């Protein structure tokens, strides 16, 4: 293997949240300034240091990259709702990630987001309710599984605004929401006179 001091690790596609007591999928990648990572074995350890998942890096780099070798791993979530910390290791190289474990969701929240004035569907809107996150598709629609409870629903999208709103989830819910277009200041405005 190449010089381990030159290895960079990355973790992505960690679900938000994970279901307590179940397994969840992540992707882990490594890149080395010294070239290809031969026999790269990735390990994921829980907060106690116990290895809970491991796998070998793939033989070819991730599409669209020159040298990010990667693998998908199944990691066990903690048995109870909590924030769990994990360490990822490849030889001496290490990084960390956290996952929020929540109770198993019982309900489906369906949200459709449009622009207030034009009524156009808004894709790419990030929806947050506590640990539950989703993003709208091109049609402005998103679905997320969610637990009973009181939440603060927040929407975020570049150049758009919507006030947060309280919401109670005690069954399946469908919402039609709007966001106001807020033009971004021209990036060079302070230089233009």
Q: CA–CA separation, 124 vs 134, rounded Å?
A: 9
| Cβ proximity of 95 and 88 under 8 Å | yes
- For residue 4, name the pLDDT band (cuts at 50, 70, 90): very low
- For 24-52, the pLDDT digits (tens) are 999 999 998 776 665 689 999 999 999 99
Both structure tokens of 142: 């998103």
Residue 39 C-alpha from the chain's centroid = 28
Tens digit of each residue's pLDDT (9 = 90 or more) over 127-163? 999 889 999 999 999 999 999 999 999 999 999 999 9
Distance in angstroms (rounded) separating the CA atoms of residues 34 and 190: 44
pLDDT reported for residue 32: 86
Cβ atoms of residues 97 and 86 within 8 Å:
yes
Q: pTM higher than 0.95 for the full model?
A: no
Confidence of residue 187 (pLDDT cuts 50, 70, 90): low
Domains annotated for the chain, with CATH where assigned, are: 4-102 (2.60.40.150), 107-181 (2.60.40.1120)
In this structure, what token pair is assigned to residue 135?
A: 């993003």
């Amino acid at each position: 293997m190449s010089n381990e001091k030159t290895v960079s690790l990355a973790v992505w596609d960690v679900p938000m949240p994970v279901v307590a007591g179940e397994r969840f999928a992540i992707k882990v990648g490594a890149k080395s300034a010294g070239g290809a990572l031969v026999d790269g074995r990735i390990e994921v350890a829980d907060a106690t240091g116990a290895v809970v998942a491991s796998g070998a890096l793939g033989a070819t780099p991730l599409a669209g990259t020159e040298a990010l070798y990667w693998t998908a791993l199944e990691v066990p979530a903690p048995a109870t709702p909590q924030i769990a910390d994990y360490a990822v290791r490849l030889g001496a190289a290490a990084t960390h990630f956290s996952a929020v474990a929540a109770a198993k969701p019982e309900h489906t929240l369906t949200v459709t987001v449009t622009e207030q004035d034009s009524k156009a569907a808004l894709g790419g809107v990030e929806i947050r309710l506590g640990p539950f996150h989703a993003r709208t598709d091109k049609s402005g629609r998103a679905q997320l599984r969610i637990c009973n409870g009181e939440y603060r629903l927040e929407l975020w999208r570049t150049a758009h605004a919507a006030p947060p709103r309280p919401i109670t989830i005690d069954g399946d819910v469908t919402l039609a929401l709007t966001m106001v277009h807020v033009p971004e200041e021209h990036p060079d405005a302070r230089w233009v006179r």
